[in-house]
């Protein structure tokens, strides 16, 4: 059915009005960081000056609130963020449902008013907003209890710090997906609508994050709740090595997937659907284990948030393969181009190859998108070109994995540690360069970043003869991009300057890029970039913050997975 241009414009105008009514806000970023005690009554101006958006902070306080504590203000803004997210979801629901009811459930994606890619991007936004709503609800309920000192340990404070960091990431991802399918032109009505909506939400989320960090994270004693520096520097290896027999890992139930029909299921998606639904409050430590027999599985797997503590075990790299070919060129958002996607807490994958076969010509094409907190991938392979491994959000660990790609092929805004992995830059399109990482930290208070330890970086076989291709350690996708390479081997494939800018001077002073005690011909730092945010770390004191024990609290959750790890420096 063809829709007249005037009707389309009316719908867009109505949509813009609703979004503007709920979310409109103004003013520019201010990065003043005045400190105030988190439990002492202080002026609103002093407290708001510790956030990136002081004027929005002041204007969103209920009159005549002039005094309060950092923690009280934080609870207020998290509640306001929660309400904003609920309104955003409600509008997305009404918009998507209107198309379903008008055209039927089967063909609403192909209507001329909004194309399939645009509807897909809005559905991404819906999923991301649902995840944010779940996170904000849990955070608000905890902080608004009769005793808001419940968050009294560094480990618990970092957990909620991680949750609030992910809310900002979800918001940014929604906008980026829409820009991919409709363009980022200021004159584009749909982009303008969502931009206005998300601008107000982003500022509220950023204020909440800043106040939480100041009110709880900075107020918890690091000495009493973090491992000692000597223990971290000395390091130790996890004692339990997970075998196919699952020694030392608590298994609640297990099923078998085999394409030949001899298992419980013939597809991975059927097995995932059969896994028990679990909430974040279930306190279940056992795993639902899905053993995937060797073979090629051509299916798109998405593991939702209610499938907690799910473990996927294959027969080995290049034995059990999950493959797909979605890409941005073919109309998918980067977020939804993933062959395999997971957002369920406590997910573990072992002995599996994840592949996106779209090829370099199709640009962004994700093999795995991971937004699962406390997730681990062990002895897995990730194969693609641009944007292979999307470490989207929350806390993640990768051990003994192989990762292949070209541009930004390890990217996202998770707090992620990679250990003992093989990183293989491969041959890109003509006149393209390779960038191993593109870390997306967009807010100075997010506890996110990419830590790469004891990994091997070598050219893939197809790149060995491509002498004209320049390969860099990374480039800053986010304004506060943060990436550390430590104790890793770098072959001569790495360009002597090491790093590449994203666009002009963007983030060069606000990023944090570091190298520590690396080896190999590509590790020579004498010709590295001279950016204000780049550094060569010479002592362990600073780099300890990016070890597994400190950066993702690995000692508190990895032992139950059975995956081996090093919690400190080698």
- Kindly state whether residue 6 falls inside one of the protein's structural domains: no
Specify whether 255 is located in the same domain as 173: no
* Residue 558: pLDDT over 80: yes
Specify whether 213 is located in the same domain as 255: no
Range of weakest confidence among 117-131, 268-282, 324-338, 431-445:
268-282
Query: How does pLDDT run across 540-557, given as a tens digit for each residue?
Result: 999 999 999 999 999 999
Token output for 339: 């062959």
Tell me the average pLDDT across 424-435.
95
- Kindly state whether residue 26 falls inside one of the protein's structural domains: no
Specify whether 214 is located in the same domain as 315: no
User: With bands split at pLDDT 50, 70 and 90, how would you rate the model's confidence at 565?
Assistant: very high
pLDDT score recorded for residue 62: 86
Range of weakest confidence among 87-91, 139-143, 219-223, 369-373:
219-223
Specify whether 308 is located in the same domain as 166: no
- Kindly state whether residue 30 falls inside one of the protein's structural domains: no
Specify whether 215 is located in the same domain as 255: no
* Residue 211: pLDDT over 70: yes
As beta bridge partners, residue 405 has 425
* Residue 224: pLDDT over 60: no
* Residue 282: pLDDT over 80: no
257 versus 93: which is more confidently predicted?
257
Give the integer Cα–Cα distance in Å for 415 and 198: 23
**Torsion angle of C-alpha atoms 411, 119, 196, 185, degrees rounded to 10:** 80
> Is residue 387 annotated as a catalytic residue, yes or no?
no
Specify whether 154 is located in the same domain as 275: no
H helices present in 455-563, as ranges: 540-543, 548-551
Last residue of a domain, one of 222, 240, 269: 222
Tell me the average pLDDT across 328-343.
96
42 versus 296: which is more confidently predicted?
296
pLDDT score recorded for residue 231: 33
Token output for 529: 């970039």
Token output for 195: 């931009």
Supply the range of the domain harboring residue 456.
251-560
32 versus 58: which is more confidently predicted?
58
Query: How does pLDDT run across 476-502, given as a tens digit for each residue?
Result: 999 999 999 999 999 999 999 999 999
3-state helix, strand, coil split of the chain in percent (to 5) is 35, 20, 45
pLDDT score recorded for residue 1: 33
- Kindly state whether residue 180 falls inside one of the protein's structural domains: yes
pLDDT score recorded for residue 116: 81
* Residue 348: pLDDT over 80: yes
pLDDT score recorded for residue 190: 66
pLDDT score recorded for residue 100: 58
Long-range (24+ apart) CB contacts under 8 A made by 22-25 are 22/84, 22/87, 22/88, 22/91, 22/197, 22/200, 23/84, 23/87, 23/88, 23/196, 23/197, 23/198, 23/199, 23/200, 23/201, 24/196, 24/200, 25/56, 25/59, 25/60, 25/199, 25/200, 25/203
CATH assignment of the domain containing 302: 2.160.20.10
CATH assignment of the domain containing 117: 1.20.140.40
User: With bands split at pLDDT 50, 70 and 90, how would you rate the model's confidence at 22?
Assistant: very low
Give the integer Cα–Cα distance in Å for 384 and 354: 9
User: With bands split at pLDDT 50, 70 and 90, how would you rate the model's confidence at 197?
Assistant: confident
Kind plus residue range of the DSSP H or E element containing 324: strand 320-324
- Kindly state whether residue 76 falls inside one of the protein's structural domains: yes
Of 390, 365, 396, nearest to 378 (Cα)?
Answer: 396
Of 223, 232, 222, 237, nearest to 158 (Cα)?
Answer: 222
Specify whether 138 is located in the same domain as 257: no
Backbone angles phi, psi at 555, to 5 degrees: -65, -25
User: With bands split at pLDDT 50, 70 and 90, how would you rate the model's confidence at 39?
Assistant: confident
Query: How does pLDDT run across 233-244, given as a tens digit for each residue?
Result: 334 333 233 444
- Kindly state whether residue 106 falls inside one of the protein's structural domains: no
Contact 212, 33 (CB under 8 A): no
Q: Is the dihedral of CA 272, 277, 281, 284 positive or negative?
A: negative
Q: Classify residue 262 as left (phi > 0), alpha (psi -120 to 50) or beta.
A: alpha
pLDDT score recorded for residue 222: 42
* Residue 194: pLDDT over 80: no
Specify whether 150 is located in the same domain as 271: no
Specify whether 362 is located in the same domain as 218: no
- Kindly state whether residue 1 falls inside one of the protein's structural domains: no
Token output for 268: 């991975």
* Residue 6: pLDDT over 50: no
Specify whether 281 is located in the same domain as 332: yes
Query: How does pLDDT run across 358-390, given as a tens digit for each residue?
Result: 999 999 999 999 999 999 999 999 999 999 999
User: With bands split at pLDDT 50, 70 and 90, how would you rate the model's confidence at 459?
Assistant: very high
Specify whether 201 is located in the same domain as 74: yes
* Residue 31: pLDDT over 50: no
Catalytic hit among 72, 373, 387, 408: 408
Give the total number of structural domains in the chain.
2
* Residue 470: pLDDT over 70: yes
Backbone angles phi, psi at 9, to 5 degrees: -65, -35
Last residue of a domain, one of 222, 240, 263: 222
pLDDT score recorded for residue 146: 60
pLDDT score recorded for residue 467: 67
* Residue 108: pLDDT over 60: no
- Kindly state whether residue 230 falls inside one of the protein's structural domains: no
Arithmetic mean of pLDDT over the chain = 85
Specify whether 268 is located in the same domain as 412: yes
Token output for 341: 């996607």
pLDDT score recorded for residue 210: 97
* Residue 443: pLDDT over 90: yes
User: With bands split at pLDDT 50, 70 and 90, how would you rate the model's confidence at 3?
Assistant: very low
């Amino acid at each position: 059915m063809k829709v007249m241009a005037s009707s389309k414009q009316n719908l867009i105008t109505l949509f813009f009005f609703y979004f503007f009514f709920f979310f409109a806000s103004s003013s520019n970023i201010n990065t003043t960081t005045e400190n105030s005690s988190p439990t002492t009554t202080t002026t609103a101006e002093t407290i708001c000056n510790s956030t990136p958006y002081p004027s929005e902070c002041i204007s969103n306080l209920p009159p005549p609130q002039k005094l309060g504590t950092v923690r009280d203000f934080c609870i207020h803004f998290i509640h306001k963020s929660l309400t904003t997210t609920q309104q955003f979801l409600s509008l997305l629901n009404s918009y998507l449902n209107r198309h379903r009811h008008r055209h039927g459930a089967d063909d609403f994606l192909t209507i001329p008013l909004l194309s399939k890619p645009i509807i897909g991007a809005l559905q991404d936004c819906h999923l991301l907003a649902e995840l944010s709503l779940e996170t904000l609800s849990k955070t608000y309920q905890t902080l608004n209890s009769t005793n808001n000192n419940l968050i009294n340990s560094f480990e618990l404070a970092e957990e909620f710090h991680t949750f609030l960091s992910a809310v900002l990431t979800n918001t940014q991802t929604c906008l980026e997906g829409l820009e991919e399918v409709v363009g980022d032109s200021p004159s584009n009505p749909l982009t303008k609508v969502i931009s206005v909506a998300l601008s107000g939400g982003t500022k509220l989320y950023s204020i909440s994050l800043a106040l939480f960090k100041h009110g709880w994270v900075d107020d918890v004693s690091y000495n009493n709740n973090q491992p000692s520096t000597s223990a971290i520097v000395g390091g130790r290896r996890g004692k339990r090595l997970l075998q196919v027999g699952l020694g030392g890992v608590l298994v609640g139930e297990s099923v078998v997937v085999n394409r030949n029909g001899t298992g419980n299921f013939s597809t991975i998606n059927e097995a995932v659907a059969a896994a028990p639904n679990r909430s974040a409050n279930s306190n279940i430590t056992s795993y639902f284990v899905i053993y995937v027999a060797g073979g090629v599985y051509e299916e798109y797997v998405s593991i939702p948030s209610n499938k907690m503590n799910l473990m996927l075990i294959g027969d080995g790299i290049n034995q059990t393969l999950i493959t797909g070919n979605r890409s941005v060129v073919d109309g998918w958002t980067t977020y939804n181009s993933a062959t395999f996607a997971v957002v369920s807490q406590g997910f573990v994958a072992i002995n599996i190859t994840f592949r996106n076969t779209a090829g370099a010509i199709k640009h962004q094409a994700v093999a795995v998108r991971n937004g699962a907190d406390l997730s681990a991938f062990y002895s897995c392979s990730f194969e693609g070109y641009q944007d292979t491994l999307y470490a989207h959000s929350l806390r993640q660990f990768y051990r003994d994995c192989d990762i292949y790609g070209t541009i930004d092929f390890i990217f996202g805004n998770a707090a992620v540690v990679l250990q003992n992995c093989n990183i293989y830059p491969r041959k890109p399109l003509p006149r393209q360069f390779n960038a191993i990482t593109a870390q997306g930290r967009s807010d100075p208070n997010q506890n996110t970043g990419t830590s790469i330890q004891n990994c091997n970086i070598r050219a893939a076989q197809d790149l060995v003869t491509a002498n004209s291709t320049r390969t860099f350690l990374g480039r800053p996708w986010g304004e506060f991009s943060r990436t550390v390479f430590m104790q890793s081997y770098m072959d001569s494939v790495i360009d002597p300057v090491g790093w590449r800018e994203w666009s002009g001077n963007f983030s060069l002073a606000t990023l944090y890029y570091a190298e520590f005690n690396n080896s190999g011909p590509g590790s020579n730092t004498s010709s590295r970039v001279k950016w204000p945010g780049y550094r060569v770390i010479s002592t362990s004191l600073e780099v300890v913050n990016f070890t597994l024990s400190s950066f993702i609290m690995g000692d508190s959750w990895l032992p139950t997975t059975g995956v081996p790890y090093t919690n400190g420096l080698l």
